[in-house]
Structure 1
Amino acid sequence: MSTTHEGLPLRSLQVFEAAARCGGFTAAGEELGITQSGVSRQVSDLEATLGIPLFVRKGARLTVTPAGERLAGQLADTFARMWSAVAEARRSEQVVTISMLPSVATRWFAPRLGRFMASYPDIDLRITASRHLVDFSAEGVDAALRYSPMPSAGLEAVKLGTETVRPVCSPEYARALGLHAPDDLYRATLLYGDIPEDWSAWFAAAGCGQSPPTGPRLGDDGAILQAALDHQGVALGRSLLVADDIAAGRLVAPFPVSLQASHAYWFVRPNGHATSKAIEAVRLWLADQFGKAE
């Protein structure tokens, strides 16, 4: 039998608190799923251990003694805090915090959030969108979705997928400029970012004879793609981030030439950190979503 620090039977304390609160052994037994005689025996054992009466018995009528009332009140408070702590521990196991790039969070993950919630309604998923490499311990992050050639040392890493890069723009912009062949891009506004696969590499792959024209540099992929959606020019779109917009007809890819991205997507966690069923569920769900995108 589980006991308290001083050898008091924890089960008997629980049964006594229920009997005092319910006003009788029968009602307490119904609440706890034991017989009336089982409740009576547990209470008697507790009285013998404490050396004091907890109930005054007059026939079938029970009255809690003053000492019993004090004990029952303190136990009620103790059990309430104990069960609250247990519930909080269970909730914390269901909280998963994932870090990812703002562009990935906005353009790829957010449209899929409903799918995740439908599959895992009990997981409290929290996304931190950041361009810096997070400090897992200091920032309370469980895992990260990183875009890099290789994961950093000291991390457990699972490769989720790769992507290609190709020009994209709005259908209206493509029609207005008559974008039919790669050389037509010399008449276009090219939107520049900070990914390794730049316009010079794409122009070379497409067989264009001259260097690409200059254009505005926006840096963040989310801003670049928003400019393309707003008919401001042509962007080099990463396939994962533009797939939904192309499928919906908001963007088009006028040319078949694409570059293989030098970076890949990785699910990473610190080496040796304890995992949970919720974290593993998130990893498997992300792997499934990346598999569908390929």
Structure 2
Amino acid sequence: MRFNHDILHRIPVRSLQVFEAAARHANFTQAGDALGITQSAVSRQIGELEKRLGVPLFARAGPQIALTRAGEVLFERAARAFADLRAGVAACRAVEGLSNVVTLSMLPSVAALWLAPRLEEFAKAHPEIDLRVSASRHLVSFEAEGIDLAVRYGPGNWPGLVSEFLASETVRPVCTPDYARRIGIEQPSDLLKATLIHPDIEEGWSDWFAAAGVAVDAVPSGPSFSDDTAALNGVLGHQAVFLGRSVLTARELEAGRIVAPFDIEMPASFGYWLVRPGGQEPSAARDSVRKWILQAFGRPAQEV
């Protein structure tokens, strides 16, 4: 087989970008979410790239994918190339005085329920900063994805990263006042006759019923959401009771749109952390965003 030295002229850079994202996430759907395209679009781009290269890049077994040896070779170089390009773009912008762009990563639920209500407050405090939010559930690669800061929910001990504690939280049942009246929720055992939305965290309904002293052989089944925003929308629609996390439900509780029928709450296993790579180059804009987030969570901002 003859190698065509002009092959790069026939391969769209977008296809390589999609391949790099798919290989990094090991999942076409997550790659599409990160790039803002559909899973089918990712699949088409990968198929076209494989056709142009003449080699399979992924071994597919149903929804599971894995890099072939050829895919591993290409990914190693593509990841390095895109990381260099992102660093080059950032350096270029800094030279031209455009270093006011800060990309912040966080869970979609935190972006929707914690950050979004505070965006006007941030814009008034820092009109000079171009804040870009990357909402995703995966643990981002800061260099590969061009992320400056991240708000993460977890234990706080991520290797190679600097973590600053933001907040712990508690978990307790929440619902609308109307739903509580309609179902007749007066004591913890009354929740057994409600529709229960099951959370995607360590703490579950069996833990809460045990804390409330309610003996149950089996917790009633119910819908489960991987994102608290969707779960809270179900609650706000007067449809169910959810084990709400205090940080994410605080505004709705304060506004009276939802209530916590009981004071029984559990400490969450994880907390919120502000995370950044160790050894970052100084950036006034990034440090301003960092200090604002710490202040919004009620934490002191130490100098870095």
Shift of 1:86: 9.3
Do the aligned residues in 2 keep the contact of 1:101 with 1:131 (CA within 8 Å)?
yes
CA distance in 2: counterparts of 1:129 and 1:170, whole angstroms: 27
Aligned pair count reads 208
Partner secondary structure for residue 297 of structure 2: helix
Shift of 1:88: 6.3
Q: For 1:137-286, what aligned pairs fall within 5 Å after superposition?
A: 137-210=143-216, 211-286=218-293
Residue 113 (structure 2) aligned to one of 107, 111, 119: 107
Shift of 1:279: 1.1
Shift of 1:145: 0.5
CA distance in 1: counterparts of 2:225 and 2:248, whole angstroms: 16
Do the aligned residues in 2 keep the contact of 1:160 with 1:267 (CA within 8 Å)?
yes
Question: Which stretches in structure 1 are left out of the alignment for 5+ residues?
Answer: 1-84
Residue 87 to residue 227, structure 1, CA distance change in 2 (3 Å):
closer
| Alignment pair present for 1:121 and 2:120 | no
Residue 187 to residue 87, structure 1, CA distance change in 2 (3 Å):
closer
**1:34-75 alpha-carbon deviations (Å, 9 max, x no partner):** xxxxxxxxxxxxxxxxxxxxxxxxxxxxxxxxxxxxxxxxxx
Q: Which residue of 1 aligns with 2:45?
A: none
TM-score normalised by L of structure 2: 0.66
**1:215-257 alpha-carbon deviations (Å, 9 max, x no partner):** 1112211111111111110001011110111111111110100
Please provide the CA RMSD for this pair: 1.7
Do the aligned residues in 2 keep the contact of 1:171 with 1:252 (CA within 8 Å)?
yes
Residue 142 to residue 88, structure 1, CA distance change in 2 (3 Å):
closer
CA distance in 1: counterparts of 2:97 and 2:188, whole angstroms: 54
Residue 187 to residue 86, structure 1, CA distance change in 2 (3 Å):
closer
Partner secondary structure for residue 250 of structure 1: coil
Tell me which amino acid in the other structure corresponds to 1:152: W
Q: For 1:20-31, what aligned pairs fall within 5 Å after superposition?
A: none
Partner secondary structure for residue 232 of structure 1: coil
Shift of 1:277: 1.4
TM-score normalised by L of structure 1: 0.68
Do the aligned residues in 1 keep the contact of 2:106 with 2:136 (CA within 8 Å)?
yes
CA distance in 1: counterparts of 2:181 and 2:97, whole angstroms: 53
Aligned-pair identity (%): 52
Runs of 4+ in 1 over 2 A off after TM superposition: 85-92
Q: Which residue of 2 aligns with 1:133?
A: 139
Tell me which amino acid in the other structure corresponds to 1:114: E
Residue 248 to residue 137, structure 1, CA distance change in 2 (3 Å):
same
Partner secondary structure for residue 204 of structure 1: helix
Question: Which stretches in structure 2 are left out of the alignment for 5+ residues?
Answer: 1-90, 300-304
CA distance in 2: counterparts of 1:91 and 1:141, whole angstroms: 19
Bigger radius of gyration among the two: 1
CA distance in 2: counterparts of 1:92 and 1:133, whole angstroms: 27
Do the aligned residues in 2 keep the contact of 1:151 with 1:268 (CA within 8 Å)?
no
Tell me which amino acid in the other structure corresponds to 2:159: A
